[in-house]
Amino acid sequence: MDANKPTVYELAENIASDDVKNNFLDFIEYCASLKLKPHLYASEKMNIKYKGKMILRFDPSCLDGNLYIIFTVAYGHQLENLLAEQPEDIQKFFIENIRLCGHDECIGCKPVPKGLVFNILGVKREMCFSEMLFKNPTREQFEYIKKWVIIRREHIKTTVK
């Protein structure tokens, strides 16, 4: 790796909570076992992609010591069908972690200031694309995020030609 670019392990040192840091590093090892490696895409932000499609972005270097993960579930028009195929616990986890418009870190979608409207399991919701947002995920949340990594990877396999 370029000597000027920090590694995910170096950036993880900025996470204030040891529990969150350890869970995050376990998650990074899990992704590596699937041949999914984090890549630097901004000054100290990283992402994980599969076949050029986003799985998730994360910022382990936040000045506030928190870890933020933004998980891309599907592209908008594919979301409803993908969710409908999932077991109830996976659907519930998504609903509980939707990146809704107006969340604390919201910068407002352009050109749609109130975000995009999605029909999620029969309920219309304004949200930032089709993403889940996590701040300092717990071990249990990371277990579900791992499940979503597999779901997202398989979805990309079947939709990307």
> Mean pLDDT of successive 10-residue segments in the chain (161 residues)?
78 92 96 95 87 90 82 81 92 85 55 64 74 91 96 91 68
Note whether residue 3 is domain-resident.
Answer: no
Note whether residue 38 is domain-resident.
Answer: yes
Note whether residue 1 is domain-resident.
Answer: no
Note whether residue 51 is domain-resident.
Answer: yes
Residue burial 1-37, b: 16+ Cβ < 10 Å; e: rest = eeeeebebeebbebbeeeebbebbeebbeebeeeebe
